[in-house]
Structures are given as structure tokens and as C-alpha cells.
Amino acid sequence: MVWDHSVSHTFEDSVCLSESCFNQVCGSYDSTASTCYEGMMKSYIGESYVLETGNAQLVNISAYLNYFGDDIHLKYTWMPKFLPKGMPQLACKRYPLNLGKFLEANYLLLWFQSCFGLEKFLMSKQSFIRFSAQFLFSANMDLCSQSNKTESFIKSCSNINSAWASLIVEECVRLGFTYFCIAPGSRSSPLALSATGHPLTTCISCYDERSLGFHAVGYGRGCRKPAIVITSSGTAVSNLFPSVVEASQDFIPVVLLTADRPPELHDAGANQAINQVNHFGNYVRYFFNLPPPGDQMYARMILTTVDSAAYNAMQAPQGPVHINCAFREPLDHSNQGWSFDCLRGLDRWFRNNEPYTRYLGMKMVSAFGNYSCSVIEVLDIIKKANKGLLLIGAVHKEDDMWAVALLARHLSWPVAADILSGLRMRKVLNSFPELDKNILFIDYIDQILLSDSVKSWINPDVIVQIGSRITSKRMEMFLESCFPSSYILIDTHPCRHDPSHVVTHRIQTSVSEFAASLCQCNLERKTSRWQDILMVLNSVVSQEIIFHVHSESSLTEPYVAHVIGEALYGDAVMFVGNSMVIRDLNMFGKGWLEHTTHGGNMMMHNIPDFIGATVAGNRGASGIDGLLSTAIGFAVGSNKRVCCVVGDISFLHDTNGLSLLNQRDRRKPMTVIVINNHGGAIFSFLPVAKTTSPQILQKYFYTSHDISISKLCAAHRVKHFLVQTKTELHDTLLKTRAEHLDCVVEVENHIDENANFHRTISMFVGNTATNYLNYLLGGQTRSDLDGMYNCKIRAMEYMLYRIQLSAPRTSGASDSSFSHEGFILKLRMDDNIVGFGEVAPIEIHEEDMVDVEEQLRFLFHRVKDCELNVVPLLRGSLSNWIWTSIGIPPSSVFPSVKCGLEMAILNLLASQQKCSLSEILTGSNPLLGDQSLVEYNQNRSTLIQICALLDSYGTPMEVALAVAKLAEEGFTTVKLKVGRRETPAEDAAVIEKIREVVGYKINIRADANRKWTYEQAIEFGSRVKRFCLQYIEEPVSSVDDLIKYCENSGLPVALDESIDNLKGDPIDKLQQFVHPGIVAVVIKPSVVGGFERAAHIAKWAHMHDKMAVISSAYESSVGLATYIQFAYYVDRQHDLVARIKRNDSCGSVAHGLGTYQWLREDVSGQKLKIHAPSLGDGMGASVEDAHGYLQHLSINNEKIERTYSEEKIKSYSVQVNGDDFSYLVNLQEAGDCTNDKVVLFLHGFLGTSEDWTPMMKALSPSARVIAVDLPGHGKSQIPQHDAENFSQMSVTVQSIADLLLNLICCITDGEVVVVGYSMGARIALHMALSQNQKISGAILISGSPGLRHEVSRRRHSAIDKSRAQFLLSSGLECFIETWYSGKMWASLRGHPQFDSLVRTRRKHSNITDLSKVLADSSVGRQKSLWEDLKHLKKPLLIVTGEKDVKFREISEQMCSEIRKHGEREAVCHNRQELCEMMVVPESGHAVHVENPLPLVRAIRKFLLKLHKT
């Protein structure tokens, strides 16, 4: 086994995989067998052979490679029972590694592919099988024959029946068909005895021929080779009919050997004698009726019959074949003489191990240019397509899945993949596969077509369909009506699979051949609005489905379909049943699945960043019979762990399959998931359900039952789990993954609930697709789509404002002048189109103004010239834009900053589209498709109601009079702050007084802000229960107490702070608040993290019949005007939800925007209109007024403290001299040059000072920040010397550190904090430990003190020296490709800025200096600083990425070393302060690139801490 330190697998992994495959190979030996067959390995490795030997064993080579120039030194440890005759000889000249003679003839060579490649690896007389992308098996073929053993075995048979049966079984084995499914019976005894006695066969039995037949179908489906089914005569044969039909319809090879009575017993009343001739009719590809065995006939006839049957089973169209075998008695091994003359002509057959008749095909090798005119016509059609759609039906082979994926990338067409294609669910190989736009998967095409508008719009002009079967009926109906100009169908069989009768071109070829041929042709990569809209619609529908399956608190069948992919860990595959199960999986299955890998090396940029998740099913005849048995056979045939998902009726239909589940000689454990809705749920979706009485439906269609699945499992000794909640489902899936046992997971559900939930999802999805299509196509108020996608943010600025409030904020203490400050953001496009946003954090935010400005500076640097390709309120669209365009994880952006940025973007889009923000959010006709909803929407006012806010200080009467005044002004709702008096009784007295003075004409909301204990809240509730509070907001702080309060107080409750700090996707976390006593959710967009997130939470509230109240946080009128339009959108969404759910609307909701009353001053001279209309609907604001305010906004410069647009970075050079060498340093600088806080940034290998530019701009208000180009990098230069002096020059980490200390003396008189990344971190640590007074502290990002052991240092030094030579010889481009393919960069490769970063790395002009630095500054040549850490005097902040396991461990060890030494010296407190460690989430090794915002904040806080000390 050969590997280097950068590959993904360890030596232990290699040994484990080697042993597994070795055991699989050697497991075919039967030491007790009297005969050894030379061809025993064919079923594993095709034409490779293994010599029979008692010495076969695994040879482990414990090795590592040292690189010294062009030589490789192999250190090895042999662990066999004996050594090979010769030692291994390896030779290498860089890559690839070429192996000489490695092992002698009797050894297996196990080879792991790493970065060396496979070119010219295999020698003559060797063949191999690739088990995976990383592993192949190679076996020597220099073997001798043992010709006499088969002949002697046949001749030793006791009677002619045994001889014939042995010939049949032997020929099957030679054909590679070694899996025999045997049903008990007397007449089939010769076949059964021969099959079970053969040392190379694997046999399984079942008392139910129907189950056995389907098991064989599953086996053939899994390995694409036939299983051999042996049955007795009579109805035993007839029981195979359903499985034969399935195999025939879905092209699954199966060989049926049915025993029969001899001719003289037919039509004579003999027992179990029926007419078995052509028993299966046209459903078999071949039938032959063998005569009873006799030595008067040549045995060659038996062999050619088997060979012919095998050929017909495997030749397109593949399918079942039937050989009917009549036997006279004796049926056992009784001696009955027979003549060997019938074996004449078999000498050649006895001498080799080949089948008697070999069927050979002529393969035409041709380029596309040599194809016929018809194929050229097809190519021309594809080239001219403007709206091409690639439709992928059932694909069975992994190679074909890869081929289709490559074809999809090559065509760049939208891809609609069926659930059985293997590409509908995909296992990711990097962090963000959905961002790879090379393959445009439309996973939810079935649900998209719920919209009639979308259905009529899609209209592709060319459809290429690969594979025949399409699961979706809705898709089939669409194909019938879309009438593309060309419809091209590709499949291996010649059969007409065209139920819609739309195919215009039919190509019979393999998927791989078609894809390979097409990929050779140059096709213009076309992008179009049509494709863009399809991708947006798919995203919209995807997010709608995700929302509904997760927001519903109960365990639903669509939820199971959506998350069931979690069971497909590793190489696991899925077998899915028919009826609703496969339809749900096709409609709701998650497209991208997490795939557990080790990160690994990634140099294969020409392949997709995913692997297909194999899903199989019986869709030939689509019956519900035999599904469990098929799945078990599929597990055997595929040799993978299988997750089988079936319905309860299907499961009950095949309970005899449970007997097969107990036989686990040749397969991995299975998980069977049974969706038990106690009947046939699919009928609830059919028209018959609408016109038939419930009693008839229950009895004759649903076939409702109360059968105990757990007891059925117990009877067969199969482990059973009952699942009734989402949590139980996830826990059980994890448990089944850990346990290597077969198990049945029963998921309980109910037909009516399931039907209702499906209906709800369908209506929401259809409405959403229609709504967004209407928006994207433009409507009457939109410009064309090109303008929408071709807009760039050309300029941005922010303004710090300070305004006066009329009173202190109720959220906390304001200063004595009641001032309020914040930032107004201004984004600008071409044509002077602008959009305003606001960021104004207050006491309730986790961030302050300094934090906010820091992030704004960073973001503004990245935002400039970004394409603004977002769709408003597409959940995740704005967040996705922040990630893909700015390169920042959205979770690292402060909530108020994210809200302000989204506000500015939404207002910018509205300005560009020349419409109001509310129109942008709702679409020009948000309820299109339901005329009653359209009319309802047209009658609604565009006014939103506003709730007054009152900080209830003063006596009860004073507060009551204040409320009375608000009521007179027109307010219908008021919110009182409670929990601020001595006792809850005093707060209750205020409520009582208000009711006395004002009565019940105003709604009262009480806000306790979590001030009370549970007992105090209960006391308040008991005192105000009769005063009709609309709700009490956050009475207690504990969630458990909150739920208990709902149950015991009888008061309606509202959420506020409880939703403010929900990290990640809030929907799952909101499930704890579904209690009906919680009637409202108060949502502050600036606190929850923006408009997308706020809209998401509001929709959850509506789905659970709760009010969604939009609340401000004392923003200026810029923020308020935006919130007004957003609140209008939320109200309209509530109306939509109520209509779809057929609920009564709770009426107008008064939103929490009453903070406008606090604004004594504003950022604009204009005034936002808020008034009570004459109709008496309550105090409110209109969408038109809010839009007008923003449209004509003019900032009052008197309220602006300062404005920031963009900061220029100063660049200059300084000559620095050192003991070993000197170099001209290029520096970049930002910030005030007089600032005594100075930060020096040091990049890593291949980086430049420009890597730090965004962080420098963010930190420039806090410090003077300087970044340098290290020697050999960027614009820095090492003065050239002659070759001899240059080679003797040492550019080590120590020498660079000394040079930088000299540089610091040149640029500042004060102290410096050094921030270093990777190589720069090692340099920074040297500087911090140098005892130089110029260094006040250091921040180490993904850094190391070096290697502790001399052996490791020598090894790494040799590796880096080899890499340096590779850089010189192969060039920078090739080196960068190799460098970033390592495991350490797995996380960075998934970052959207990775390609841009690589482009900057290619700009290095002097690779000679670069290679010199790589070799000299190697961690192997660096002095180990582990001991020096004990003497640390300067503060360190050690930063590492969450995903960087290696450097997290190093960082923890560094902190431990520093602190342990402090404990020994009894200065623990000081040592603890000297060293801090920070793990940055959502980042790997390159923290400063992958998630820079937490790092920026940490650097500033580190500076503040140093400054204070």
C-alpha cells in the first residue's frame, strides 16, 4: 500500500479496506470441498484468476515515503508468515509513480490510488477490478490449469440426473451466475443438490416461491447479473409469475430452472403435473423444454441450451429466461449406471473453465463524425436547442450515473431527474454543492408543475430523455401537452416506452456510450432567462417544501420522504416501494444529502462535486407484491447496505419476505422503514375519494387494518422500532446506523391527516410557483428580466446619524439627552438608482455601534461591483447572495447589520423596478390563480394598523389617562410595559384602572420582558384574567415555565425575546412553541436577523394560527417606512394562509411600530405619515405613504455626524537588511498613521498583503494596520545574487522574523501586535518569543510552534524540498492545482471565493524565490518552539477553524503547554491571561478567508485588552 501524508485515508483505513476486500475474495474458497474450481474468482474479478494455494494471505506494508529530489525512499515493515522471493523495487520520476515488479505470482497486490495516478501501472498478465474511486484489486494471471478435476467430478455422479444437473450448475457458474434461489421440492432435488454441493455457489431458500422469485429479481437489479431460481413442478412454477412479469417489464435478467414431470406423466392425472411449456408466455426472453436426462443424448446440448438462455437473458432487452427441466426418478444420489459416451466432445470444456459457447459481439469504435446521418441530425437538434430539457429516467449503474452527470454538465441544460435515476438525491463532496451552477438540477419539477401558469410557460423546444421510466404522473401529463419540436429518447433496449407518444428520435445505445460521444462534441454553453427562471422556481418550491415539512409539528409522510436520505450514509443505497412511498420521495425528497467523507484530496476538477444516491424500485409493473423480498435480493446483489422504504399494505403483502431477512450469509444489514397509515393511502388522492362514502372507501379501497407489525417482526425474530415523532425518527435512524442488525422501523401515520397535509402543501407550492413566475416574468409593473439580473452595486456609503428622542427608550437606559444614533446605508446602481437601509443597534442587540461599523466597513469593500441577483423573500436568496457574492457566512453577520443590508437591497430593487417595496415583496398579483383570493385582496386596504407603546411609569390613574388619550387619537391597541414595579399586584392594578377609565374599546397587550418568576407571573395572571388582555408578552424567562404558564394561567401569551436568539434555521426550534396558548409572535427584523428570517418566522406563526406582529426597535423613519411595507406583506401572507387552511382570519393585526412617537427629530426633513383614517380602522400607516417617503427621501445633513464611502489603501516599499539576506518589502497601510495601536499582518505561503485588505479597512478606525508581502511573495523582492550565493542563502522562518523586527523599527516607534496566518503565524510566534520589546502581542491563525521530533522534521523538510523542486519544474499553475488539492484545504475549496483566491495566487511572478521560501521556511527546517512556549511573556491569541481538526489539536496543546508551565510557577492567573484560544465556526484552515468577521472582532478586542493593560 502506497500513500503520502496528504491523502484522505490513514494507514489504518487502508488496512481495514484491504482486509475487507481480501476476505471477500478469499471467502470464496471452500477448504472442505473435494474439488477446487479454477474459475472460482470470476464472479468477483471477471477474467482474473488466483492460484489454489494454502499460503494466500494479506501482506501489509507499513510504509511512508520520503521525497529527496526525484528519489523515493520506502521504509517498509513486512508482516506475512513468509517473505516474497524478491524485495519490492520502486522507481519514480515525480508523478505518476511507476511500479516495477512488486510482488511474486502467489501474492495479491493491493494498491491505493493517491496523488500519484495510475498511468501504466498494470503490467501484462495482470488484471484488476476497481471497487471504488480510490481502491482497486489486482491479481496475477500467471496460473496453471488443473484440467482433470471437473471431468472427474462429473463422471463420479451417481446417476444421469445428477450428471445433467451438475452440468447445468457448472455451466451457470462458468457464466458467472453463482447465486441460486432454491424453493423446497422433490422433483427439483437433482438441481438443488448440485447447486448446494458446488463450492462456488451461494444458495438461499424460501418456502414461498413468490417471495423467492422477487428475491431473484432484486438480486439481478442489484448486480445486473441473473440469479438462478430452482423450483419444483406444479403451482410452484405459477407462483413465480408476478416476479417474472416484473423482471420482464423492467429488463432484469433472471434464469428460471423449473423441474417438471416427464412426458409420460402429463395428461395422466399425475400429482403436481401441469403444463409448464411456455408457462410464462411472452414475459420470458427465451424458453426451452429440456427432455428428461438420458445418456443417449450428448451433454453438449445441455451446455449450449444454458449458454443460449444466458445470452438471451443478458442481451438487450434483458429479462427472464426459462428452462423447463423434466426429471424421472431417482431424484436423489441413488446409484444408477450411465454411459460416459454422452460426454463426448467435452474435452476442451473440461480442460478450461470457460462456458461451452462464447457469444462474441463486434464493437464499432467510431467518433461522432463517422456516425450516420440520423445521429448527426440528433446532434444538430441539440446544438440548435434554445430551451433544452434533460430528463433522466431510471438509471441502474453507477457508471451510467456518472456519465449522465458529465453529460448534464456538458449540455448545461436544466436537468429533471427521476427518483430512480440515482441523481434525484445526491451526496455532496464539498460544503456547498448547490452553488455549483455547472449542472442545473430541477429537483422539484413535479411540484413546480402544480402551477398551471408554470406548466404553460415552461414549453421546452427539445427534450432529451435518458432511461425509460418516469415516476411522476404529473410529468407524464405535462409531456403529453407540451409538444416539443424534438423529443429524443436514449435507452439500451429497443422497446417502445413512450406512453405520451411524443418521442421523435429513438436511440438504442448505452447511456455511457451516448454521453461519451456527445461529450466529444463542442457545444456552445448557453445561458438564458428561461434557465434562470427555472432555477429560481426550483429554489422557491424547494424552500416552500422545506418550510412546510419542518413547520408541521407532527410526523408526516412528506417529512419522512424529505429526511429519509439521512439513512444513506457511506455507500448505502435505497430500495423504495410503490404506491405513495415512491411518489412522496420523488415529490419531497431532499436533493442534496450530506456525505460522510474525510475531506480528502480533490484534484478531479473535471468531475461533479457529488455522487449519485442509488435508488431502486420495482417499476416494471409497479405492483405492491414482493417488495420486501426484492429489497433483500437487491442488498445481496449490490453488496451494499440497503434502506428499504415501503407502505404498510406492501409490507403485509410480502410478510413471507421476513423469512429471507433472517438469512444474512452474503449481505450487509438492512433497515426496512414501513410507512403505516393503516391502509392504502393512495386512494385518498384519487377522484374516487371525492364521490364515495367513507364506509366504502375504508373497506374496499383503503383496506383499513389494525395488524400489529411489531408482532409480525417478533414472530420472525426481526428487531422492530415504533416511531411516532420526528425526534424518534431521527434517533432511530442514528441507532440503526450504529447497530449492524436487520431491523424494521414502523412510522405511524393516518390517512386523513396525510391527505390534508398533502393538499395544503400542494396549494402553497402551486401558489408560490405562480406568484414568483409572475414576478420574474415582469407583469405590468416590471421591467424586463435582463435588467433584473444585470444590475451591479456601483457605489455604497454609510452615514452616522444622531437624533433626539422625546423620551428614554423603554428597552433600557438612554443618555440624559435622550439621543439615538445609527447608520443610514446607501447603495447605488447605474442611472442614479439608490436604496436606503438602516442599522441602529440598541440595548437589546448583542452588537454595539463599534461592532456594527466594523462589519459595515468590511462588507462595503466586498459589496462594491457585486451582481445583485437576488429574488426578494426567496428564503435564503439574500443570505445566499451574502455567501456567494461577498464570501461571508450569513450567520457571522450581526442581525442588525444583516437587516440593514437587506433593507437597502430591497429598497434598491424597488427603486430599480419603479415600484413600492410592498409590490416587490408581494408580487404584482400575489394571489394569482384563485379568483376569490384576487377579489379579496383587491378589497383590502393598504393601511396597516399600529399598536401604541406606553412605558407605564406613574400612578395607575396617570397611565389610564395616557391610554385614554391614545384611544382618542385613534389607537385601537396599546402595549404596556409591566414587571417594573415592586409587585405584580401593582401592575395588575394599572390594568384594572385602564379598564375602569377607558373600558374595553381598546386592546391591551402587556410586555413583561421576562422580568418575573413563574410564581409572580401566575399572580399577575390571576389578577388580570377578567380584564381581557390580548396577550401577555414573555412573562417568564424559561421555555418550560412559559409552556406551564400557558397551561395554568389561562392567559394568552406572546413570544418576543424567545425568538431573538434562535441560531440557524429557526423552524425546528420554534416547534417547542406550538402550544395553542401562545397566540402571537412579536418579530423585530433587526434583532432576528433581517427580513427573510422575519418573514419565515411570521409564516410559521400563521401556519400555527398565531398572530405575527412586526415590531421596530426605535429606528428612524427610514426603517419605519420599510417596516410598514413589510408588515403589509406579512398581513397579506396571513390572509393567504387562512384561505388555504380554510380558517377564519383573525382580522387586522396592530403592528408594534409605535416607536415613531419617540422621534423628536428624524434623519430627514420629511415626515412619515401615520394617522387614524376616518373610517375608524385605528391608527395606522399606508403603504403608499411609506413608499412615497422612501422614494423622495432627502437626508438632513445636520443630523449626520460623518459619512464613509471608501477608504484608500496606501502602498509603499521599504528596503530591509538582515544577517542572511535583505529584501525590498512591499507594504500596504490603512488607518491613522499617528495611532499608537499598530497591527502588522503576515500572510501564509502563496498569499500576499492584499489578502488582508478587507480586514484592514474594517480595523482602520481602531488601529494603524499594515500588511507586508513576505519574501518571495507579491511585489516584495529578494535582490538577485549569483546562483551559488543564492543557493547558500537561507530564507528561514527565523531569518524572516529577524528582518520583520528590523522593519518594525523603520515604520513605527511604538509596539506592534503581529497577526500571522499559517506560515505567517509561525513567523509571528518567533517574533513574540524573541523577547523583543517592539512586540506587544501576537495573534496566531492556524499556526504551529513546529514539530517536536527530529524524524518528523526531516520528513517534512524533505517533502517541502520536493515540492519546491516540483514548483520549479512544473510551473506555478500545476503547483497551485496540487497544493490546494490537499486535505487541509477541503473547507476552503467549498468557499465561493476559492476560484478568485486561486487567481490571485497565479500572479506571483518569481517562482524561483517562491520555491526558495517554500524549501527554506519549511516546518521541517524550523526550530521547534514547544519548549520556548513555557517562557512566553507576551499575550497570545490562538485562532483556529472549527473544521480544522489538526490545528485545533495543535492550538489546544499550545494553550495547555503555556498554562501548565504557569501552574508550576504559581502564576496561573497571569499565564491564563497570556494565552487565549478562539475557535471560529464555519471555517477550516484559512479562517481569515472563510469566516473573517469573527476574526476582525477578536483582533479589535485583543487590541483593547492590551491597551487597557
> pLDDT for 917-933, tens place per residue?
988 887 654 433 344 44
| Among the ranges given (706-715, 808-817, 1205-1214), the one the predictor scored with the smallest mean pLDDT | 808-817
Given a cut of 80, is residue 33 above it in pLDDT?
A: no
The per-residue pLDDT for 1152 is 95
Task: Enumerate the H helices of 716-796 as residue ranges.
Answer: 726-738, 751-777, 785-789
Q: Note the pLDDT tens digit of each residue in 1315-1371.
A: 999 999 999 999 999 878 899 999 999 999 999 999 999 999 999 999 999 999 999
The per-residue pLDDT for 681 is 65
Is 1084 considered catalytic here? yes
Q: Where are the beta strands (DSSP E) in 248-301?
A: 254-260, 286-290
Q: Note the pLDDT tens digit of each residue in 1069-1112.
A: 999 999 999 999 999 999 999 999 999 999 999 999 999 999 99
The per-residue pLDDT for 724 is 94
d(CA 194, CA 177): 14
Of 59, 55, 66, 50, nearest in space to 103 by CA: 59
The per-residue pLDDT for 19 is 55
Question: At what angle are helices 241-249 and 209-223 packed, to 10 degrees?
Answer: 20
Q: Is it true that the peptide bond before 96 is cis, omega within 30 degrees of 0? A: yes
Given a cut of 60, is residue 177 above it in pLDDT?
A: yes
The per-residue pLDDT for 135 is 38
Catalytic residue among 640, 975, 1361, 1383: 975
Share of the chain above pLDDT 70, in %: 83
CB proximity list for 661: less than 8 A, separation 6 or greater: 628, 632, 670, 672, 716, 718, 742
Of 1183, 1190, 1188, nearest in space to 941 by CA: 1183
If pLDDT is split at 50, 70 and 90, which confidence band does 517 have?
Answer: confident
Average pLDDT of 194-212? Answer: 94
If pLDDT is split at 50, 70 and 90, which confidence band does 976 have?
Answer: very high
Given a cut of 50, is residue 1484 above it in pLDDT?
A: yes
User: Do residues 1338 and 1328 make contact, with C-beta atoms less than 8 angstroms apart?
Assistant: yes
User: What DSSP string describes 96-123?
Assistant: SEEE---S-TT-EEEEE--TT--TT---
If pLDDT is split at 50, 70 and 90, which confidence band does 526 have?
Answer: confident
Higher pLDDT, 9 or 164: 164
The per-residue pLDDT for 698 is 77
pLDDT, averaged across the chain? 84
Share of the chain above pLDDT 90, in %: 62
Higher pLDDT, 1329 or 9: 1329
The per-residue pLDDT for 941 is 67
User: Do residues 1346 and 1425 make contact, with C-beta atoms less than 8 angstroms apart?
Assistant: yes
Q: Note the pLDDT tens digit of each residue in 750-805.
A: 888 888 899 999 999 999 999 888 888 874 333 344 444 457 898 899 999 999 99
| Among the ranges given (520-534, 680-694, 1038-1052, 1198-1212), the one the predictor scored with the smallest mean pLDDT | 680-694
Q: Note the pLDDT tens digit of each residue in 251-310.
A: 999 999 999 999 999 888 888 889 999 999 999 999 999 999 999 999 999 999 999 999
| Among the ranges given (601-610, 634-643, 1125-1134), the one the predictor scored with the smallest mean pLDDT | 601-610
d(CA 827, CA 795): 6
Average pLDDT of 1390-1407? Answer: 92
The per-residue pLDDT for 11 is 53
Range 1007-1045 burial, b when 16+ CB lie within 10 A, else e: bbbbbbebebbbbbbebbeeeebbbbbbbbbeeebbbbb
Average pLDDT of 939-957? Answer: 86
Tell me whether strands 819-828 and 834-839 are parallel, antiparallel or unpaired. antiparallel
User: Do residues 178 and 202 make contact, with C-beta atoms less than 8 angstroms apart?
Assistant: yes
Q: Note the pLDDT tens digit of each residue in 102-131.
A: 322 222 333 333 333 333 333 333 333 333
The per-residue pLDDT for 101 is 29
Given a cut of 70, is residue 405 above it in pLDDT?
A: yes
The per-residue pLDDT for 591 is 87
| Residue 884: DSSP 8-state | I
Q: Note the pLDDT tens digit of each residue in 875-919.
A: 778 888 999 899 999 999 999 999 999 999 999 999 988 889 988
The per-residue pLDDT for 57 is 32
The residues with which 835 forms a beta bridge, in sequence order, are 827
Tell me whether strands 254-260 and 227-231 are parallel, antiparallel or unpaired. parallel
622 phi and psi, to 5 degrees?
55, 35
| Among the ranges given (42-56, 624-638, 1072-1086, 1405-1419), the one the predictor scored with the smallest mean pLDDT | 42-56
353 phi and psi, to 5 degrees?
-120, 30
Helix (H, G, I), strand (E, B) or coil at 271: coil
Given a cut of 70, is residue 369 above it in pLDDT?
A: no
The per-residue pLDDT for 144 is 33
| Among the ranges given (329-343, 560-574, 855-869, 1273-1287), the one the predictor scored with the smallest mean pLDDT | 1273-1287
Any idea what the Cα angle at residue 590 is, between residues 589 and 594, rounded to 5°?
A: 135
Of 1335, 1313, 1341, 1324, nearest in space to 1500 by CA: 1313
Given a cut of 80, is residue 1475 above it in pLDDT?
A: yes
d(CA 1472, CA 9): 37
| Among the ranges given (365-374, 1018-1027, 1087-1096, 1169-1178), the one the predictor scored with the smallest mean pLDDT | 365-374
Average pLDDT of 171-178? Answer: 95
Is 699 considered catalytic here? no
Q: What's the grid cell of residue 699?
A: 373497506
| Residue 735: DSSP 8-state | H
Given a cut of 50, is residue 716 above it in pLDDT?
A: yes
If pLDDT is split at 50, 70 and 90, which confidence band does 679 have?
Answer: confident
If pLDDT is split at 50, 70 and 90, which confidence band does 1459 have?
Answer: confident
The per-residue pLDDT for 1134 is 92
Given a cut of 60, is residue 689 above it in pLDDT?
A: yes
Given a cut of 80, is residue 46 above it in pLDDT?
A: no
Of 322, 311, 300, nearest in space to 358 by CA: 311
Q: Note the pLDDT tens digit of each residue in 725-752.
A: 999 999 999 998 888 889 999 999 888 8
| Residue 559: DSSP 8-state | H
The per-residue pLDDT for 362 is 64
Of 811, 1088, 1107, nearest in space to 977 by CA: 811
Catalytic residue among 225, 1084, 1099, 1237: 1084
How many beta carbons lie within 10 A of that of residue 1140, not counting itself?
Answer: 19
Burial of 1146 (0-12, 13-18, 19+ CB in 10 A): middle
d(CA 1231, CA 1238): 9
